[in-house]
């Protein structure tokens, strides 16, 4: 009875009074996991815990067991049901072998009448438990508020991560940015993103690319959902894995798989140098971050495919431009060759061969210019040439086109005018502008005018026509690549012309009125020898 005397129910009770009420108490022994009080049944006893411990639980609406409190030696329980004459509000289960003193309901009522001190002790215990419950509720509310604030912060971090990653959508940006984001939100030693090749032969991270076979990455690939491993010693392939700086001294880790179209394409791994259990909130954050990475990777793949498609399209359009212009020049060469074949005049044959060579050189120059344009590199090899002779050589290549379209050509260039040009490249510009002019004219009185004049410190070359003109909304973009007003055009010709003129430190401009005609002005700084 000495242990029973220490129970809180008898605190302040004189020994004589305690001895008088011991007759109300029956002592029983129970093994671990014995249900002493069942939730929902009528209360019939007050129980005094002499030795051992118990837990007080309640069943949630979802059927889960919720721990409300624990009781140890010297505590009592079951009084509320007796005082209220109501069913038990919770369940009491032994957590180890226990010795319990039991007081029946009738004995409890009689004891309360005989010993007011017992009733006072019960009130004190109820008050202390209510105070503890109030503190627990407050702490729980504060904990929930802190968790809510942490979740809001994490959401803001994820939104900012999404914004930053779109500014430089590539794998390198992911490798660099992800560890910074994780370190700000999760307590860990290191964090890293690993991406697997489709055939699972290699794995990439910030430091480089490593072999997949026989390494720790083979153990990571089958992980389908976020997983914590508190002892990595049992994980195969960890020791000696690359990058060594990441895997050495790692004891615990958390892994979040990165998916793309339901396929595991990577893993986010965080490590700790000691045994560690990360919180549910930290685990949820890493899982969400892995989902963000999945979306970013998908966008990176789509962007890469789009860029490849655009490059292929540019190559196709550049090829189209070459073939279109080559067709015209080959037609000229073909006609000259036919004339040469039927001619017996050595002088005529010589002149025609010269024209074939000019056309051939122009085709070679055209192919070089398109390649230079694609590479963004136009180099000038200039020499002093007679401008009138240069223009006439280009016009001779288009004579057949003029005759076919009944176009008259007016050329106003001083016979003595010379300038330092890259002959092949400027011939390409003039040829392109003249061909464009011939194809824009559909009138009975078709006319093309070519002029050259020296103004103060500059040479101005103009190629004008009385054709259909260029729509006003197109004029500001006419020199942009792949912009054309003709169905058969590639849109590269004028863009290449602009590059050539600017490589000569000149500028090219257009003046056009729909239904009236178009004028191209080429202005070069004049540097007399």
> HEC states along 87-100?
ECCCEEEECCCEEE
Q: Is the domain of 123 the same as that of 180?
A: no
What pLDDT shows up at residue 511? 93
Q: Is the domain of 123 the same as that of 24?
A: yes
Q: Is the domain of 226 the same as that of 113?
A: no
Q: Is the domain of 130 the same as that of 185?
A: no
Q: Is the pLDDT of residue 229 over 70?
A: yes
> HEC states along 365-381?
HHHHHHHHHHHCCCCCC
Q: Is the domain of 502 the same as that of 390?
A: yes
| Three-class SS state of 72 | strand
Q: Is the pTM of this model over 0.85?
A: no
Q: Is the domain of 73 the same as that of 202?
A: no
Taking the C-alpha atoms of residue 362 and residue 369, their distance in angstroms, rounded to an integer, is 10
Domain end (from 278, 294, 319): 278
What pLDDT shows up at residue 271? 93
Higher pLDDT, 162 or 178: 178
What pLDDT shows up at residue 487? 52
Q: Is the domain of 6 the same as that of 106?
A: yes
In a domain, 263, yes or no: yes
CATH of the domain at 63: 2.60.120.10
Q: Is the domain of 378 the same as that of 478?
A: yes
What pLDDT shows up at residue 252? 92
What pLDDT shows up at residue 452? 94
Q: Is the pLDDT of residue 218 over 60?
A: yes
- In terms of Cβ atoms closer than 10 Å to its own Cβ (0-12, 13-18, 19+), residue 459 is buried
In a domain, 311, yes or no: no
98-104/45-51 β-pairing: antiparallel
In a domain, 151, yes or no: no
Q: Is the pLDDT of residue 148 over 90?
A: no
What pLDDT shows up at residue 99? 94
In a domain, 334, yes or no: no
Query: What is the residue range of 69's domain?
Result: 2-137
In a domain, 414, yes or no: yes
Q: Is the domain of 203 the same as that of 132?
A: no
Q: Region 209-238: what's the mean pLDDT?
A: 85
Domain end (from 278, 309, 335): 278
Domain end (from 213, 246, 278): 278
Higher pLDDT, 177 or 324: 177
Label residue 385 by pLDDT band (50, 70, 90).
very high
Q: Is the domain of 22 the same as that of 128?
A: yes
- Name the token pair of 245: 């700086």
Q: Is the pLDDT of residue 242 over 90?
A: no
What pLDDT shows up at residue 309? 66
Higher pLDDT, 237 or 258: 258
Q: Is the pLDDT of residue 520 over 90?
A: yes
What pLDDT shows up at residue 314? 60
CATH of the domain at 210: 3.30.450.40
To the nearest whole percent, how much of the chain has pLDDT over 70? 87
Taking the C-alpha atoms of residue 76 and residue 49, their distance in angstroms, rounded to an integer, is 6
In a domain, 320, yes or no: no
**Out of 145-159, 285-299, 384-398, which region has the weakest mean confidence (pLDDT)?**
145-159
In a domain, 325, yes or no: no
Q: Is the domain of 441 the same as that of 482?
A: yes
CA-nearest of 235, 233, 278 to 254 is 278
446-455/407-412 β-pairing: parallel
In a domain, 346, yes or no: no
What is the per-residue DSSP string for 200-258? SSEEE-SS-EEE-TTSTHHHHTT--S-EEES-GGGSTT-TT-SSHHHHTT--EEEEEEE
Label residue 64 by pLDDT band (50, 70, 90).
confident
Compute CA distances 361 → 66, 237, 394, 485, 492, whole Å.
90, 64, 12, 28, 20
CA-nearest of 246, 217, 252, 221 to 234 is 252
Enumerate residues 6+ apart whose C-beta is below 8 A from 180: none
**Out of 42-56, 285-299, 407-421, 447-461, which region has the weakest mean confidence (pLDDT)?**
285-299
**Which tens digits make up the pLDDT trace of 399-416?**
878 888 889 999 999 999
- Asked if 177 contacts 165 with a C-beta cutoff of 8 angstroms, the reply is yes
Q: Region 288-312: what's the mean pLDDT?
A: 76
What pLDDT shows up at residue 486? 60
What average pLDDT does the chain have? 84
**Which tens digits make up the pLDDT trace of 414-473?**
999 999 998 888 998 998 899 888 888 877 788 999 999 988 788 999 999 998 888 888
Give me the number of domains the chain comprises. 3
| Three-class SS state of 192 | strand
CA-nearest of 147, 145, 142, 156 to 184 is 156
Q: Is the domain of 192 the same as that of 80?
A: no
**Out of 47-61, 79-93, 194-208, which region has the weakest mean confidence (pLDDT)?**
194-208
């Amino acid at each position: 009875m000495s242990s029973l005397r220490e129970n809180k129910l008898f605190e302040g009770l004189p020994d004589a009074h305690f001895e008088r009420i011991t007759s109300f108490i029956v002592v029983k022994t129970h093994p671990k996991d014995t249900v002493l009080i069942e939730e929902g049944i009528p209360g019939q006893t007050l129980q005094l815990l002499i030795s051992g411990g118990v837990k007080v639980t309640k069943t949630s609406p979802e059927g889960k067991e919720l721990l409300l409190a624990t009781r140890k030696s010297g505590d009592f329980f079951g009084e509320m049901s007796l005082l209220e004459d109501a069913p038990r509000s919770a369940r009491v289960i032994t957590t180890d072998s226990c010795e319990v003193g039991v007081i029946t309901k009738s004995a409890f009522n009689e004891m309360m009448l005989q010993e007011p001190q017992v009733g006072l002790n019960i009130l004190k215990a109820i008050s202390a438990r209510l105070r503890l419950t109030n503190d627990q509720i407050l702490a729980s509310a504060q904990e929930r508020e802190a968790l809510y604030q942490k979740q809001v912060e994490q959401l803001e971090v994820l939104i900012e991560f999404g914004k930053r990653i779109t500014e430089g959508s590539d794998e390198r940006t992911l490798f660099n940015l992800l560890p910074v984001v994780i370190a700000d939100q999760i307590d860990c030693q290191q964090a890293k993103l690993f991406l697997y090749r489709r055939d699972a032969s290699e794995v990439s991270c910030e430091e480089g690319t490593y072999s997949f076979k026989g390494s720790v990455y083979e153990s990571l690939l089958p992980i389908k959902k976020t997983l914590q491993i508190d002892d990595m010693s049992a994980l195969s392939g960890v020791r000696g894995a690359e990058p060594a700086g990441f895997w050495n001294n790692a004891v615990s880790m958390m892994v979040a798989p990165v998916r793309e179209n339901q396929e595991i394409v990577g893993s986010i791994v965080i490590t700790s140098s000691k045994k560690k259990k990360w919180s549910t909130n930290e685990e949820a954050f890493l899982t969400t971050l892995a989902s963000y990475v999945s979306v970013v990777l998908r966008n990176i793949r789509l962007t890469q495919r789009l860029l490849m498609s655009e490059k292929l399209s540019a190559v196709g359009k550049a090829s189209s431009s070459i073939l279109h212009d080559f067709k015209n020049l080959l037609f000229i060469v073909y006609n000259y060759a036919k004339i040469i074949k039927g001619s017996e005049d050595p002088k005529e044959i010589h002149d025609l061969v010269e024209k074939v060579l000019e056309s051939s050189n122009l085709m070679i120059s055209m192919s070089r210019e398109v390649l230079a344009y694609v590479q963004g590199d136009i180099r000038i090899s200039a020499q002093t040439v007679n401008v009138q002779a240069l223009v006439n050589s280009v016009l001779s290549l288009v004579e057949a086109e003029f005759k076919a379209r009944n176009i008259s050509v007016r050329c106003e260039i001083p016979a003595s005018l010379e300038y330092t040009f890259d002959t092949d490249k400027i011939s390409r510009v003039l040829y392109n502008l003249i061909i464009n002019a011939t194809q824009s004219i559909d009138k009975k009185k078709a006319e093309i005018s070519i002029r050259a004049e020296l103004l103060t410190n500059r040479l101005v070359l103009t190629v004008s026509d009385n054709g259909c003109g260029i729509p006003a909304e197109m004029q500001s973009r006419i020199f942009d690549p792949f912009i054309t007003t003709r169905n058969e055009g590639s849109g590269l010709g004028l863009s290449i012309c602009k590059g050539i003129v600017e490589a000569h430190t000149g500028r090219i401009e257009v003046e056009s009125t729909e239904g009236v005609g178009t004028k191209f002005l080429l202005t070069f700084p004049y540097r007399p020898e």
